[in-house]
Chain A
Amino acid sequence: MSARGEIVFTVNGSAVTVSAAPVQRLSSVLRDELRLTGTKVGCDAGDCGACTVLLDGEPVCACLVPAASVAGAHVRTVEGLGNGRLSALQASFLRHGAAQCGICTPGMLMAATALLERNPHPAEDEVRDALGGVLCRCTGYRKIIAAVMDSARPGSGLDLGLPPAGHAVGASPIRLDGIAKINGTEKFGGDSFPADALALAVIRSPHHHARFAFGDLEAYQAEHPGIVDIYTAADIPGENRFGVIPPFADQPALAEGSTRFRGEAVAVIAGEPDAIASLDLSAFPIAWTELPALLDTETAQTGDAALLHAGRPGNLLTQGFVEHGDPEAALAAAAHIVSDMIETSYVEHAYIEPEAGFAHMDGDTLVVTACTQAPYMDRADTARLLGLPPEKVRIVPTATGGGFGSKLDLSVQPLVGLVALKTGRPAALCFTRDESMTSTTKRHPAAMRATIGADAQGRICGMVFSGDFDTGAYASWGPTVANRVPVHASGPYVTPNYRALGRAIHTNGPISGAFRGFGVPQATICQETLYDALAIKAGIDRLEFRLKNALRNGSETVTGQLLEEGVGIADCLEALKPHWQRALADAGRFDAENGHMKRGVGVASCWYGCGNTSLPNPSTIKLGISPEGQVVLHQGAVDIGQGSNTVIAQIAADALGVPLTLIALRSADTAITPDAGKTSASRQTFVSGKAAEKAAKSLREKILRFANVSDHAALSLEGCLLIIREGDATRRIGLSALTPDADGLVFTAEETYDPPTAPLDAKGQGTPYAVFGYGAQIAELEVDLKLGTVKLVKITAAHDVGRAINPLLAQGQIEGGIAQGIGMALMEEYIPGRTENLHDYLIPTIGDVPPIETILIEVPDPEGPFGAKGLGEHVLIPTAPAILNAIRHATGVPVTKIPATPSRIRAAIREAGR
């Protein structure tokens, strides 16, 4: 770096003088020198726009602006938008639910502010053009567009929308953690590094498979003043092996002698931040010997393929199997039969927040403050790696800027933990975008084959499915995918004769783990596209065909589970019927008027079991009354943007019988909050929500008993008084007179809920889930037959959520899931070594998500809190198959390799001779 110098400019109207190198990125000047961490860094390459600030009024990516260029200029950041209040735009973002995780929000707000100052009433296409340079992975952009267009509406100030007591469930207040997300004060993984923290640089494998030997590390350290130490596998004090499913744990925190995938960590250099920033890692003393790599599941399974892990013959990690009835006999007797093979690609989670966090020692306790989806699992694995008892590791989750499954696995935690433990100094690490993309998990690529048969009336009689899922170098969530897929591959349809096999196969590819749906989205592409082929063959309308076969109350699933109540798939499909008819009619008219542009309409369904598959999956929720008269909710269900901070509080408020406004949240810090499980498997609203309902009811009972009143009594809190009214009688309990417990609470309750499931037998028969959620979506699109490009026109989504605890957040989940489904269907393909950044790896922009109409269906589930079911993963599942079915409808040809890029669609059209 060149020498630092003084640079004088104004930030949000105040003159500042910083000492910075002239080519230091403005983003770094703002965040590191001025501690204005509201400006986020997602890629350091201008690909994501998270760091958008206004430079003399114009939006720029702060990561691409040299410090020297801002001398004398005016810079505006998110911190300056409201002048202590909220701007109309910020208020509109809250009102519309336009911020989910919040990591892209500052960039969106700045880009939109530049637009609105020029044009206070922009049209939708003007909003898209202005915001096209900021990526969002959570919201699906539609609420952002609405918020920007609505921001100038007169009288549209901030209404928190907080409902009265007893009416929280079903209301859509602004998210309780929302204000920090839109004013720049939210602290994500990289936003609160201690000033004295050591910085880390990680040495990673440049090869898919390699042997390595270190050179003279001491000499390297000696040549580079400021390096404090260099750590390798030999320095790991505990068992150098981690993994989210303990019996399969197989991944070293730092590899030992050889690496199994590109991006695997082998060493960590810890040092003073300036020293680490100036390191040329290409000179690090390590000798690599590249070894032959297995990069596809077919080769990995051949007899002479090398094994990635001893004891896993054929590189088979594990497999899941479900068999019901006699599928061969059923298919032999079928009137109509279809079969196909379909392949999907690695999909990157592409949250805009790269993994980040820091560790420090608090006495003899190691405290890791980082973004995560699973604090207690982080604690267990970090403790094992570092040779500490779990209670000597404390995980403090920061706000998490998107997770979608990948932040269930460890990333920075063991590395910062190791350095803090060894040096006694705080240690901080924020992954670069390419580190985030190469080293963390992906969606499994799948190669699937299926045959489905129907009788003459169009009723499914049998199905056979097999899928090979590329699980990459380490186990991660591969077993979950292998087990979930065969349970779900039938779709939400009565399938009396069925066999499904899901296999997780190791390769030297990136680690495949959890990604919104655990393999079910891939399997559903296979099943739902075949359903279209079968409906066409049987001459039945594609939506009617699905309705005819839909699971109903009293149906039996492919695992032999009797679904007594709460089956909402037919309700979803019925709700879509008028939209389906309208869309088909529109398509007919469009095609009559156009030549090489063809309109297509497709539909697909989903079902998804909420929570772990046939395994214990408890959540514990604690809440209590503080002497100051607040309801303190220990909300351990990590909110990664989906809204659990708000939804769990809404459930607790109504179950306790107090207004939502009295609830104060405590975070999922493992030192203060009980384990509410991981944020995954669409389980938080259902499982943690149920635990919250139970805990709140229990707290209510305690208070009522203390006051000696019946359950008809109403509770309220006024200052330090707990007031209980029943009929004309009123009791006032002075809270400050009561003795608080260790948590500082005077009344408290803690309850655990574990959904009732039963193990699957050798044929996969049993009760894997207590609750399923259902949904169906229609995709309307236009295909340019000459170029193979797809323009989405509209998505209509009907989802059975049991009970919409917060309809606005539910819509937000649906729109966001659809955007990810669009990406999976049309553009997302991670190729190690080729698409390790956000300009070669494409996710949908604001211009790629069409209008979405959401229909919330509420078929209550007797098990869920207030009847609620999970939703988070369901929403992504139908999108890609609905799009693929629409492409087939438009072009007459199926696309069997996903994503359906223009190149592949055009090739399919060409092969079909059209």
Chain B
Amino acid sequence: MIRYAKPTSIEAALALLGEGSWRILAGGTDFYPALGNRPPREDILDINGLGELRGIAETPDQVIIGARTTWTDLICHDLPAAFDGLKLAAREVGSVQIQNMASIAGNLCNASPAADGVPPLLTLDAAVEIRSTASSRFLPLDRFILGNRRTALQPGEMVTAIRIPKPSTAGTSAFFKLGARRYLVISIAMAAARLVIADGIVKQAAIAVGSCSAVAKRLTGVETALRGIAVADIATAIATAELSELAPIDDVRASAGYRREAAREIVTRAVLAAADPPSANAVAA
């Protein structure tokens, strides 16, 4: 018989985590598919009793997304335009049914190369808040997800929040998902872009691409190429920019060559969309 616990405080959850190895159950949308029809073999720590982990809060320097916050919670929350890309990604996570249950932090902890939430969170310079009984630490997202299905989470630790620094909530953003069907589809590739534009000039650019490497990547070559150029020159600048961070593979969804070529195209579209965003109402819930 396995152990099951559903603590009602973070402290109690962390205390249990400190005692042994647990599988954390949050939204269940990765937990159950991985289980299939086999019985659970690991002790299960159900964090759905931790109400304090759910919701979005703001401090003077950060936007804090609780680990158990769902994609639907995010879509319904009033946030600056820099989060529009993340909200667009939220709407592409599985289906409405999945968005109602799945947690944003779970998307990070599952560490799939095709996680839709990761590229927009990378463009927001998100950091992952990790706690154990002994410590709290913060890891930039690109240092939290280490590889395909691999994170920096240590025994006894759990993700408690995602923190977005206020300076990175400036500007406008967009997200482009490329898949072989309309809904419920794992991305062939996706791109997220956040731009700060002033007087028709790109002041800041944060660009990330997913499903084209083991972990979604920020594209520093593209960001450098965009910084300081006129909005009208965006497409030209991306056309010759370096995409050296990407290392796409052949799989059942597409060839590596296709991904490499499509990545540049969807980055261009995401950046152009961020430069010329639709009215806020079209993105907000």
Contacts and interface: CB of A to CB of B under 8 A. Distances in A.
Interface of A: 1-3, 21-23, 25, 44-47, 49, 52, 55, 58-61, 63-66, 68-69, 111, 114, 128-130, 132-135, 277-281, 432, 434, 786-789, 826-827, 829, 831, 834-835, 837, 839-840, 842, 844-848, 901-903, 906-907, 910
Contacts of A69: 28, 46, 48
B97 A52 contact: yes
A111 B180 contact: no
Contact of A847 (B1, B91, B97, B183): B183
Nearest to B266: A787
A846 B38 CA distance: 31
A280 B39 CA distance: 7
Contacts of B25: 23, 66
A133 B37 contact: no
22 contacts: A2-B40, A3-B1, A23-B4, A25-B32, A44-B37, A46-B95, A65-B101, A66-B48, A69-B48, A133-B94, A133-B96, A279-B39, A432-B36, A786-B262, A789-B178, A829-B252, A835-B252, A839-B184, A847-B183, A902-B178, A903-B255, A906-B261
A845 to B, nearest CB: 4
A279 B38 CA distance: 7
B95 A132 contact: yes
Q: Which 4 A-B pairs have the closest CB atoms?
A: A133-B95, A847-B182, A132-B183, A2-B4
B124 interface: no
Nearest to B255: A903
Interface residues of B, number: 49
B181 A66 contact: no
Given A23-B44, A902-B254, A280 B184 contact: no
Of the candidates B6, B29, B180, the one having the most CB atoms from chain A within 10 angstroms of its own CB is B180
Given A278-B39, A848-B181, A902-B262, A111 B46 contact: no
Contact of B98 (A133, A846, A907): A133
A277 B180 contact: no
Given A1-B2, A132-B95, A66 B28 contact: yes
Interface string B68-106: 000010000000000000000001001111101100000
Contacts of B96: 59, 111, 114, 129-130, 132-133
B253 interface: yes
B95 A280 contact: no
Contacts of B44: 2, 22-23
B183 A277 contact: no
Contact of A906 (B38, B41, B186, B262): B262
Interface string B186-224: 101000000000000000000000000000000000000
Contacts of B6: 22, 68
B185 interface: yes
B98 A2 contact: no
A846 to B, nearest CB: 7
Given A66-B25, A280-B39, A845 B184 contact: yes
B38 A280 contact: yes
B242 interface: no
A428 to B, nearest CB: 14
A844 to B, nearest CB: 6
Given A44-B36, A55-B100, 19 more contacts: A22-B44, A23-B40, A44-B32, A46-B33, A46-B97, A49-B184, A64-B98, A69-B46, A133-B98, A133-B184, A829-B252, A835-B252, A837-B33, A839-B186, A842-B185, A845-B183, A848-B181, A902-B258, A910-B261
Contacts of B1: 1-3
B97 A49 contact: yes
Interface string B101-142: 100000000000000000000000000000000000000000
A911 to B, nearest CB: 11
A69 B6 CA distance: 10
A135 B185 CA distance: 12
B265 interface: yes
Contacts of A52: 97
A58 B186 CA distance: 23
A907 B188 CA distance: 15
A63 B29 CA distance: 9
A143 B33 CA distance: 30
A606 to B, nearest CB: 24
A848 B28 contact: no
B258 A906 contact: yes
Contacts of A280: 38-39, 41
Contacts of A60: 97, 100-101
Contacts, number: 171
A59 B180 contact: no
A827 B181 contact: yes
Of the candidates B25, B41, B184, B252, the one having the most CB atoms from chain A within 10 angstroms of its own CB is B184
Contacts of B100: 55, 58-60
Of the candidates A21, A132, A831, the one having the most CB atoms from chain B within 10 angstroms of its own CB is A132
Contacts of A831: 252
B48 A68 contact: yes
B252 A845 contact: no
Given A64-B101, A133-B183, A848-B181, A46 B94 contact: yes
Nearest to A129: B96
A133 B40 CA distance: 26
Nearest to A62: B97
A790 to B, nearest CB: 9
Contact of B29 (A46, A55, A111, A826): A46
Interface string B245-282: 00000001111011001100110000000000000000
A848 B181 CA distance: 6
Given A129-B96, A434-B36, A835-B252, A845 B29 contact: no
Contacts of B33: 44-47, 64, 837, 839
B196 to A, nearest CB: 27
Of the candidates B46, B95, B258, the one having the most CB atoms from chain A within 10 angstroms of its own CB is B95
A788 B258 contact: yes
A813 B1 CA distance: 50
B75 to A, nearest CB: 11
B265 to A, nearest CB: 5
A128 B95 CA distance: 11
Nearest to B183: A132
A831 B100 CA distance: 31
Given A59-B96, A277-B39, A47 B184 contact: yes
Nearest to B254: A903
A66 B33 CA distance: 13
Nearest to A596: B265
A842 B180 CA distance: 8
Interface string B1-44: 11110100000000000000000010111011100111111001
Contacts of A837: 33
Nearest to A830: B252
Contact of B101 (A61, A114, A827, A844): A61
A903 B48 contact: no
A834 B178 contact: no
B179 to A, nearest CB: 9
B120 to A, nearest CB: 19
B251 to A, nearest CB: 8
Contacts of A829: 252
Contact of A907 (B29, B101, B258): B258
A281 B6 CA distance: 28
Contacts of A130: 96
A46 B181 contact: no
Nearest to B101: A60
Contacts of A786: 262, 265
B39 A45 contact: no
Contacts of B29: 46, 61, 64
B180 A826 contact: yes
A840 B28 CA distance: 19
A528 to B, nearest CB: 23
Contacts of B95: 46, 49, 132-134
Nearest to B178: A787
Contacts of B265: 786-787
